Structure 1
Amino acid sequence: MIDSPADLQRRRFLRDSARYAAMLAAGSVPLLSTAAPAVPGPRQAAAPLATVRSGRLRGQAEHGVNVFRGVPYGADTRARRFLPALQELPWRGVRDASAYGSSAPQGGSDGPGSEDCLYLNVWTPALRDGGKRPILFYIHGGAYNNGSGSDPLYDGSALCRRGDVVVVTVNHRLNVFGYLYLGAFGDPALAGSGNVGQLDLVQALQWVRQHAQEFGGDAGNITVFGQSGGGAKIATLMAMPAARGLFQRAWTMSGQQVTAAGPRAASQRARIAMQAVGANDVAALRALSTEALLAATRARDPSRVEDTGLYLGPVLDGAVLPVHPFWPEAAAQSAGIPMVIGNTHDETRAFLGNDPANFALTWETLPATLEKEQYTDLLPSTVIAAYRRLYPHYTPSEVFFAATTAGRSWRGAVEELEARARQGAPTWAYQLDWGSPLDGGRFGAFHTLDIPLVFDTTGQPGSRTGGGDDARQVAASMSEALIAFARHGDPHHAGLPRWDRYSLERRETMLFDRVPRQANDPRGGERELYRQAPFIQRGTFG
């Protein structure tokens, strides 16, 4: 007997009600309130209220911006470990949305996190006013292992006030919880397990599109932007059929994904993860506590080039991700999406500059240090000779940081730019040349420095831009470029010189500095140097 739609709806309601009751009994549902909001005092704005698919939300009014934090867009993933998430459960009354939700399980400052991590945050100038504002959807960095959407640098208030836009940040599953590929272990339901973190982002984008009008935004004008791992996740989304049509523009910052992990390499890493936690099969993995499973991230990667922790990232699984994002060509489904691809001039000073020895290198000690850290299979002597010819005034330490940046961080951006140019897709390139004045300027334009400049959050803790006029000026240039791009599909604005699309003939690039300028093929000599070795995206092979 085939159930009627009414029977199915009734059965689904009873099932969800039972799950909700169980969560209440376990104390795992946030406190809800059916009481009316407190009457505001003479200097207190009324708390904004929003209605979404699962209930009502009470946010906060902050300096002219309506803010909703910790909004669920999916259910607790613990019961669906390694599987696509379900929709969030409905709630009764008005849910408080004044605090950020849990980050994904991880180590470090954003840990320990929770498997109940599918939350997003919204900043908007107005609700339900038909404003059709561009929506800026930010995906955090931290590779595929760490991070959350609640960093103070990601506060969307300044962008809202500057550009009359809606800003969204998001948490999603990471590391073994979001990218452990178990498709080779016999269960067809696990075919997409290596990409469920990406599917979380798809689910969040669907939520944003569904509720755009409620938050004063335009469902047909969504810009995804992200830094480092966030940019890599965007590159991956551009090749995922499930993400087709969910965003109209893309802006990536020091984050690329040219190729994904192959299924054999991903399966090898899954076995290493299982050995690390003493699990013989998938059932044993599912039975582990969150903390016990997280221990798998501390295993060493089998890569023969990099000595790092276990790589976990998107997988070419033939289902969720059927093609590599930018190899052998850019994904056809995103050819019509305008895209900005950016980097910083001194990327690796962020993570190699913390060792004082790297600032005291000599011509004698440089070769061995460079061979360990450049992650490109070229003779150090070849690289050093080329840099001494290109930049005869560079010290050994300056050669080290420039070469590791070009060999490790910048090459993926060049690969993506070239693939988009061959495709004829609308693409713009930028490079942040302005460096932080802190620490005597020794870190330069390091990896992550463009985050507070694009968000216009230079005054927030952790920005490391300093509070000077130069920082505010560069932030104005970059944040206005993002807003212009979101609004018109072109990053140029009145405060910038001419910014042309990237082409293979001229390789036009906007150099963001105190005085921005466009240059053709900046660092062309470095680009030619590293063309001698094939580009291999981290994690592609074992």
Structure 2
Amino acid sequence: MTGSSRGQTPSLQSRRRFLRQSMQLGAVGAIGASGLWLPARVAAQSSPSSVVEIDTGRVRGYVNEGVSVFKGIPYGASTARENRFRPPQPATAWTGIRESVEYGPTAPQTLGSDGQLAAGQSEDCLVINVWTPEANSNRKRPVMFWCHGGGFTSLSGSSPSYDGTNLCNRGDVVVVTVNHRLNIMGFTHLAELGGEPFAHAGTAGMLDLVAALQWVQRNIEQFGGDPDNVMIFGESGGGRKVGTLLAMPAAKGLFHRAVIQSGPTIRLASAEAGTRQATSLFEQLGLQTGDMQGLQNAPVERIIAAYQAISRTSSFAPVVDGDALPASPFHPTASAVNPDVPLIVGANRTELTLQMRGDTEAFNLDEATMMQRLQSILGDMTREVVDVYRSAEPDASPSELFFLIVSDRAYVVPCTVIAERRAALNAAPVRSYYLTWETQTLDGRLMTPHALDIPFVFDNTHAERTVYGFTTGTAEERAMADKISDSWISFARSGNPDTGKLPDWPVYTGASRQVMVLNNESQVVEDPIRERRQVMQRVLNLA
């Protein structure tokens, strides 16, 4: 659809405020009261696993519910001091048997009340976790490599909601989660200020993920996995990482399928913008611009404090440096770096109800307050957008309409654009989904929030492993997990998600726009939010 030009641009302050609110959800995948999942102790009912020999030494995990679990295995060296802002370096080999029974450190991201890194955080954070039905076997199983949420700035791969036990038992697959550098430590563009040794500082956190995928190539056979059958998948910030990996030459050949769940990264920052942000870091630390020795020797707490100050006005994410990341993942077209990788991409109907769950007014809007809120986001297009959405959703309350609009803007429509642009490459199958199942959390007012897909994908619907109490293990929830997790497993195994538990899932094209609408009774619908999609693509200037 073409037509009128975009409306007046809302104020920069309003857009930044909404962007921060929208993207905070990437940082809430599954967090405890302190804001982080701390390393968990070994399950009470467990026994030692067999010893596995990898390229840096021998490791021993534990067996729980028939699955061998190995946690906190180093895949890279500490990123402190001389390795700070540099590409990941190889892990140091060890002698003897390394007991790999607890999660390793989380990347630096927050400070405690005493000004020190919060518990469980360290620059020695390049660790990987593996769940396998059987280590040291000759059987090659599909590998499901999970990229954690939290935007590009926070959280870790150690959340109970990412526990791979049920996926292993259900699908005879190997599950991998990983920690890597985040925020200012992983995405400060220093190429122009620090010279060649720091040419890839703006993509260091993504290069960590590449190193973890290379570790999988070298070692996963020892855990019963197939290095030639690796699926990368992630939700929110994890989905954004998946999209970015698709655009990285260094990642080519390291994975063979991809799933982006509510994680649209269409356009990333330029080198120029990254340099301006890096200059702010030197200023915050009181260092002369380009003083790399001072930057590497500064206490990590000072750098995180600087990050907290800078992030009030700008966010940290991978920078298009022309080398490690030659171009944005899906702008102006989909990257053709890894074109032959089949993709599933989709989002949830009311994504933003989660991060706005504490905003009582947002759930009790009248027409006037809804319009007022939307005006700061949509500018002069507000009335047109509301009219289109009201026509498409005549029974929606003002609050529901508001959440549909802001969720479409931040997640649903950008994910649709990814499907369109990836399909336009005409190189590998693309499939699209739209989750509409509603949780009963908070009396059902969240409807279909961000991260609701995680318990279904991991088959972790019981309270001890779910996120935000979204699921409690009811029969209905288990049925949803049965269908969705099996589809993800099938896709990991063969590139085809069809299992017979959902309708046959057709390939998405720009002509047919066939989308799997996931609910108790799932169905394939052609362009299910067509009118909403068309007007929102104009709002986003992505038509």
TM-score (norm 1): 0.87
What is the distance in 2 between the residues matched to 1:273 and 1:498?
51
Residue 363 (structure 2) aligns with: 359
Matching residue's letter, 2:434: Q
Distance (Å, rounded) in 1 between the aligned partners of 2:494 and 2:262: 23
Counterpart selection for 1:174 from 171, 174, 182 = 182
Q: Aligned runs of 1:126-525 on 2, under 5 Å?
A: 126-281=134-289, 282-300=292-310, 309-372=313-376, 374=377, 376=378, 378-424=380-426, 425-459=428-462, 460-463=464-467, 464-525=470-531
| Contact kept? 1:277, 1:295, Cα under 8 Å | no
- Asked if the contact 2:111/2:305 (under 8 Å) is kept, the reply is no
Structure 1, residues 8-40: CA drift from partner, whole Å, max 9, x if none? xxxxxxxxxxxxxxxxxxxxxxxxxxxxxxxxx
Q: Structure 1 counterpart of 2:483, which letter?
A: S
Contact 2:285–2:303 (8 Å) recurs in 1 = yes
Please state how far the C-alpha of 1:186 moved relative to its aligned partner. Answer: 4.5
CA–CA distance in structure 1, aligned partners of residues 209 and 46 of structure 2: 35
- Kindly provide the amino acid, as one letter, of the partner of residue 514 in structure 2: E
C-alpha separation between the residues in 1 aligned to 2:472 and 2:64? 24
Secondary structure of the 1:48 match is: strand
The partner residue of 2:88 within 85, 88, 92 is: 85
Q: Is contact 2:346–2:432 with CA below 8 Å preserved after alignment?
A: yes
- Contact 2:329/2:335 (8 A) holds in 1: yes
**What is the number of equivalent residue pairs in this alignment?**
487
Deviation at 1:326, TM superposition (A): 1.2
Change (3 A) 1:117 1:44: closer
CA-CA distance at 1:97 after TM superposition: 0.2
* Partner secondary structure for residue 379 of structure 1: helix
Aligned equivalents of 1:232 and 1:187: distance in 2?
A: 28
Over 3 Å counting, the alpha-carbon distance change for 1:331 and 1:218 in structure 2 is same
> Which string of whole-angstrom CA distances, capped at 9 and with x for unpartnered residues, describes residues 311-340 of structure 1?
111111011111221122222222211010
Are the aligned partners of 2:381 and 2:539 in contact in 1 as well (CA < 8 Å)? no
Q: Deviations over 1:133-184 (max 9, x none)?
A: 0000000010000010110000000000000000000000000110011112
Q: Does the CA-based 8 Å contact 2:409-2:540 persist in structure 1?
A: no
Task: Answer with 279-288 or 166-175: which moved more.
Answer: 279-288
Three-state SS of the structure 1 residue aligned to 2:320 is coil
One-letter amino acid of the structure 2 residue matched with residue 496 of structure 1: L
Matched residue of 1:218: which SS? strand
What do the CA deviations read for 1:38-58 (whole angstroms, capped 9, x no partner)? Answer: xxxxx9744321111111111
> Distance in 2 between the 1:73 and 1:382 partners?
52
Asked if 2 retains the 8 angstrom alpha-carbon contact of 1:482 and 1:491, the reply is yes
Q: Show the counterpart of 1:15.
A: none
Amino acid at match of 1:486: A
**Equivalent residues of 2:163, 2:465 under 8 A apart:** no
CA–CA distance in structure 2, aligned partners of residues 513 and 131 of structure 1: 35
Q: Which runs of at least 4 in structure 1 moved beyond 4 Å after TM superposition?
A: 43-46, 108-112
Say whether the 8 Å CA contact 2:483–2:502 is kept in structure 1.
yes
Quote the sequence identity (%): 37
Closer, same or farther in 2 for the Cα pair 1:161/1:204, shift >3 Å?
Answer: same
Query: Alpha-carbon deviation of 1:272?
Result: 2.6
- TM-score after normalising by structure 2: 0.86
Could you tell which deviates more after superposition, 445-454 or 411-420?
411-420
For residue 118 of structure 1, the aligned residue among 116, 120, 126 is 126
Q: Which residue of 1 aligns with 2:3?
A: none
Per the alignment, in what secondary structure is the counterpart of residue 214 of structure 1? helix
Q: Which deviates the most, 283-292 or 245-254?
A: 283-292
Matched, 1:48 2:50: yes
1:104·1:111 contact (CA, 8 Å) conserved in 2? no
Q: Distance in 2 between matches of 1:221 and 1:268?
A: 40
AA aligned to 1:485 is F
Q: 1:294 to 1:524 in 2, by over 3 A?
A: same
Find the structure with the greater CA-based Rg: 1
More divergent stretch after superposition (490-499 vs 151-160): 490-499
Cα-Cα RMSD: 1.9
Letter in 2 for 1:182: L
Higher normalized contact order (CA 8 Å, seq sep 6+, divided by chain length):
2
Give the SS at the match of 1:270. Answer: helix
Q: Distance in 2 between matches of 1:410 and 1:111?
A: 34
C-alpha contact 1:437 1:466 (8 A) present in aligned 2: no
In the aligned structure 2, how far is the partner of 1:142 from the partner of 1:336?
28
Stretch of structure 1 that moved more, 101-110 or 428-437: 101-110
Q: Summarize the Cα distance change of 1:123–1:288 in structure 2 as closer, same or farther, 3 Å threshold.
A: same
